[in-house]
């Protein structure tokens, strides 16, 4: 991938050493280099080596971890130490680093070191250049001008050459630029078996990078599709005859995390293969790139006709958050993508500093994008300490603009029509269809205003868009919500303003390197808690519920996807403050995030992460507002923590003390769940009766 993006040898010194990690055979790799690189290797007398590090990692049980392999290569060819001495020291370092993880891990690293030495090849450099190709352009010629002149330069590592005058002078940057940054990270990508697929929508739901998508379209629209483009008649009663569906991967944007394959429930009874299975990327890249390009040309299905309350229907909606540069298998991004599919055409996002601000708006690209009508999330980043107030400011200003627009419309109702005015001011915008109808009214209003010669009409023209519903989202991690920004968050939920707060809870300060936060669970290791955290996790949900007027949900998409979907829909539809606390597995947890769906399920079944929804609207109907959506802990806590290295010290304590530590943790989880059970008890009649009791003087 780097060979297609960067001029890696521009700064190489005379007699340098050049190592390439590639699956291409040593006798063929010379022909993959650009003409410029070949000339530089010859002119600078560069020693050229190759290694297939991923194949060695796979063969030696290292998964996709190649750090030990590449480190071995460095010491073997750099000459910093004699080769034999260097290898001996690397093996000692591996033993020291990984002995706590067990002898099997140490031996896997030792085997990888030996295999590296055996498979490290020096390429014989020809005397003359043979390549006929040059470095491809960073972006295609049809990309927008800004992308070609600014974004592409930064992507190529030449951003420091841009003059300040080339940058936007108002600080705003175009959205939808992540689509041009083709990272080609995956060694393997998912391949769809359209005959076996049941069209459940689970694969795009779990994809952290919006790299696999579903779309519904009329079969005749695929007549000009590439010959390898797959589509089939959609299954289900909700769709008209002749409608086809496709599940298509974006090969150059897929990271190969395998979550889509893991979640796939469609398994062949004949040979056990799934409707999605991973296949080597290289032979599929060009074919699937063309297929994805065609997929994007297909029109989006009318979202007012999709059933957003089902995973299948919601996942046919266009994601307006795509290809974020988050870690492979990130546990946060699926939640943001879901919100963008459901509400993205009207979202305004205030984002706290943290991981979500880095992959959300870090230059040169942004994953937030817009639909065919030019609508999409408006995004801005604020600080750790004030992001909640920042987002509240969005809501207050939007409401004030809408109020003033309504006042101006009332002044002009004789010009635009009383009945038309009332239709706009009293529009039901609680559904997709209602919002669509309001947009049509607003467009008609624009035309009417153009013919009115009055100052109020000119003012209203600048505010008319505020007559359409806006969805304000305040997004950040647990470091912001539980710690540094908690005071602001607490203030915002104490108001009655209609804001939606999404807390991406990784249970640790992720972006700054894994420090302990108040969301870190008892017993977990983190920086500043190297001996394991000694106090319990702050219960943010319970704090928010104590206000009584805040919608609160505890969700984990890998454990119960329909629950997550329902919570997002309920939260956004609620007219006051809502708080969604989303369980978000992170690389700082120390395990392969390809296994995170199982870990999310264990988090719920052990009681570590109870699923719940607290909806104040239920209390207004005489019902208990709290619904506990997961069962009483039924799996030993040990089953959850043994899969995550952040708990390795706690696991040793459980092994060494005869069961007392494990019993303590099990008891704590049971007590915590019992408290929620108690809060969720009580009938509507009991609540009504209590409400009628006179208070004491």
Are 413 and 557 contained in the same domain? no
Residue 364 lies in a domain: no
pLDDT of 106 > 80? The answer is: yes
Assigned token pair, 636: 């030993």
Are 280 and 234 contained in the same domain? yes
* Lowest-confidence region among 168-172, 452-456, 550-554, 596-600: 168-172
Are 659 and 607 contained in the same domain? yes
Are 151 and 214 contained in the same domain? no
Residue 393 lies in a domain: no
Are 104 and 141 contained in the same domain? no
Q: Strand 551-555 to strand 612-614: parallel, antiparallel, or no bridges (unpaired)?
A: antiparallel
Note the pLDDT tens digit of each residue in 635-677. 999 999 999 999 999 999 999 888 899 999 999 999 999 999 9
Q: Find, among 538, 556, 567, the residue nearest to 610 by Cα.
A: 556
Q: Are 16 and 44 in contact (CB under 8 A)?
A: yes
Q: Categorize the per-residue pLDDT at 104 as very low, low, confident or very high, splitting at 50, 70 and 90.
A: confident
pLDDT of 127 > 80? The answer is: yes
Residue 197 lies in a domain: yes
Ramachandran sector of residue 527 (left: φ over 0; alpha: ψ -120 to 50; beta: rest): beta
Average pLDDT, the chain: 94
Are 153 and 98 contained in the same domain? no
pLDDT at residue 696, rounded to an integer:
33
Residue 678 lies in a domain: yes
Choosing from 301, 317, 333, the residue where a domain stops is: 317
Q: Are 308 and 342 in contact (CB under 8 A)?
A: yes
Are 189 and 84 contained in the same domain? no
Mean per-residue pLDDT for 458-483?
97
Please state, in angstroms and as integers, the Cα–Cα distance from residue 583 to each residue in 173, 503, 504, 554, following that order: 30, 9, 7, 8
Residue 343 lies in a domain: no
Q: Are 545 and 628 in contact (CB under 8 A)?
A: no
pLDDT at residue 53, rounded to an integer:
96
Kindly report the CATH number assigned to the domain that includes residue 86. Answer: 3.40.920.10
Note the pLDDT tens digit of each residue in 607-619. 999 999 999 999 9
Q: Categorize the per-residue pLDDT at 79 as very low, low, confident or very high, splitting at 50, 70 and 90.
A: confident
pLDDT of 3 > 60? The answer is: yes
pLDDT at residue 682, rounded to an integer:
66
Are 117 and 145 contained in the same domain? no
pLDDT at residue 588, rounded to an integer:
94
Q: Categorize the per-residue pLDDT at 80 as very low, low, confident or very high, splitting at 50, 70 and 90.
A: confident
Kindly report the CATH number assigned to the domain that includes residue 204. Answer: 3.30.70.20
Residue 694 lies in a domain: no
Please state, in angstroms and as integers, the Cα–Cα distance from residue 107 to each residue in 23, 95, 104, 295, 388, following that order: 24, 8, 5, 46, 49
Measure the CA–CA gap between 307 and 236, rounded to whole angstroms.
12
Residue 430 lies in a domain: yes
Mean per-residue pLDDT for 228-243?
91
Kindly report the CATH number assigned to the domain that includes residue 677. Answer: 3.40.50.970
Q: Find, among 215, 213, 282, 296, the residue nearest to 252 by Cα.
A: 282
Q: Are 388 and 398 in contact (CB under 8 A)?
A: no
Are 145 and 50 contained in the same domain? no
pLDDT at residue 689, rounded to an integer:
38
Choosing from 317, 343, 377, the residue where a domain stops is: 317
pLDDT of 562 > 80? The answer is: yes
Are 443 and 531 contained in the same domain? no
Note the pLDDT tens digit of each residue in 252-306. 999 999 999 999 999 999 999 999 999 999 999 999 999 999 999 999 999 999 9
Number of structural domains in the chain: 5
pLDDT of 456 > 90? The answer is: yes
pLDDT at residue 15, rounded to an integer:
95
Q: What is the 3-state secondary structure (H, E, C) of 467-503?
A: HCCCEEEEEEEHHHHHHHCHHHHHHHHHCCCCCEEEE
pLDDT at residue 688, rounded to an integer:
40
Are 633 and 679 contained in the same domain? yes
Residues 6+ apart with CB under 8 A from 168: none
Percent of the chain having pLDDT more than 70? Answer: 98
| H or E element that contains 366 | none
Residue 475 lies in a domain: no
Choosing from 317, 337, 368, the residue where a domain stops is: 317
Are 451 and 543 contained in the same domain? no
Q: Which range marks the domain in which residue 549 is found?
A: 507-689
pLDDT at residue 392, rounded to an integer:
98
Percent of the chain having pLDDT more than 90? Answer: 87
Measure the CA–CA gap between 658 and 213, rounded to whole angstroms.
50
């Amino acid at each position: 991938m780097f060979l297609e993006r960067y001029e890696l040898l521009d700064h190489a010194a005379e007699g340098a050493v050049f190592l390439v990690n590639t699956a291409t055979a040593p006798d063929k790799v010379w022909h993959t280099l650009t003409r410029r690189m070949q000339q530089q290797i010859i002119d600078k007398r560069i020693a050229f080596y190759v290694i297939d590090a991923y194949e060695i990692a796979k063969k030696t049980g290292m998964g996709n971890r190649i750090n030990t392999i590449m480190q071995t290569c460095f010491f073997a060819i750099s000459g910093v130490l004699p080769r034999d001495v260097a290898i001996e020291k690397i093996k000692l370092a591996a033993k020291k680093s990984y002995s706590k993880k067990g002898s099997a891990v140490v031996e896997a690293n030792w085997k990888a070191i030996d295999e590296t030495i055996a498979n490290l090849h020096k390429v014989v450099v020809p005397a003359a250049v043979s390549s006929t190709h040059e470095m491809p352009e960073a972006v295609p010629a049809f990309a927008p001008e800004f992308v070609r002149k600014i974004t592409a330069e930064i992507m190529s590592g030449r951003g420091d050459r841009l003059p300040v005058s080339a940058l936007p002078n108002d600080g705003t940057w175009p959205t939808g630029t992540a689509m041009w940054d083709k990272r080609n990270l995956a060694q393997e990508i998912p391949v769809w078996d359209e005959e076996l697929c049941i069209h459940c929508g689970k694969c795009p739901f779990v994809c952290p990078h919006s790299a696999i998508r579903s779309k519904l379209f009329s079969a005749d629209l695929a007549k000009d599709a590439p010959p390898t483009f797959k589509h089939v008649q959609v299954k289900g009663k909700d769709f008209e005859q002749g409608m086809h569906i496709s599940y298509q991967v974006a090969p150059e944007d897929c990271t190969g995390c395998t979550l889509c394959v893991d979640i796939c429930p469609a398994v062949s009874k004949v040979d056990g293969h799934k409707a999605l299975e991973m296949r080597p990327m290289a032979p599929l890249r060009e074919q699937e790139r063309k297929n994805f390009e065609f997929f994007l040309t297909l029109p989006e299905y009318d979202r007012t006709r999709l059933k957003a309350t089902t995973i299948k229907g919601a996942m046919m909606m266009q994601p307006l958050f795509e290809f974020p540069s988050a870690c492979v298998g990130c546990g946060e991004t699926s939640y943001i993508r879901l919100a963008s599919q459901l509400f993205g055409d009207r979202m305004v996002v205030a984002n706290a500093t943290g991981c979500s601000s880095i992959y959300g708006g870090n230059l040169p690209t942004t994953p937030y994008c817009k639909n065919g009508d030019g609508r999409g999330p408006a995004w801005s980043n604020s600080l750790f300490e004030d992001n909640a107030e920042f987002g509240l400011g969005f809501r207050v200003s939007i409401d004030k603009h809408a109020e003033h627009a309504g006042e101006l419309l009332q002044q002009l109702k004789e010009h635009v029509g009383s009945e038309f005015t009332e239709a706009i001011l009293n529009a039901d915008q609680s559904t997709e269809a209602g919002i669509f109808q309001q947009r049509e009214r607003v467009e008609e209003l624009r035309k009417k205003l153009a013919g009115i010669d009055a100052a109020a009409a000119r003012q209203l023209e600048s505010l008319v868009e505020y007559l359409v519903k806006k969805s304000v989202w305040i997004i950040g991690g647990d470091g912001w919500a539980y710690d540094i920004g908690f005071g602001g968050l607490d203030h915002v939920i104490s108001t009655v303003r209609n804001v939606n707060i999404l807390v991406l809870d990784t249970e640790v300060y992720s972006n700054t390197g894994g420090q302990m936060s108040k969301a870190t669970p008892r017993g977990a290791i983190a920086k500043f808690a190297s001996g394991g955290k000694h106090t319990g996790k702050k219960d943010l949900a319970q704090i928010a519920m104590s206000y009584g007027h805040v919608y609160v949900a505890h969700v984990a998409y890998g454990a119960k996807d329909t629950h997550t979907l329902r919570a997002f829909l309920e939260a956004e539809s609620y007219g006051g403050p809502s708080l969604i606390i989303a369980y978000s597995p992170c690389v700082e947890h120390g395990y392969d995030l390809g296994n995170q769906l199982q870990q999310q399920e264990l988090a719920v079944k052990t009681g570590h992460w109870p699923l719940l929804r607290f909806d104040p609207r239920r209390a207004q109907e005489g019902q208990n507002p709290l619904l506990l959506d997961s069962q009483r802990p039924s799996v030993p806590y040990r089953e959850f923590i043994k899969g995550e290295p952040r708990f390795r010290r706690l696991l040793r304590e459980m092994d060494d003390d005869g069961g007392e530590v494990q019993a303590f943790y099990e008891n704590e989880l049971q007590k915590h769940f019992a408290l929620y059970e108690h809060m969720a008890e009580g009938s509507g009649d009991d609540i009504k009766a209590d409400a009628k009791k006179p208070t004491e003087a």
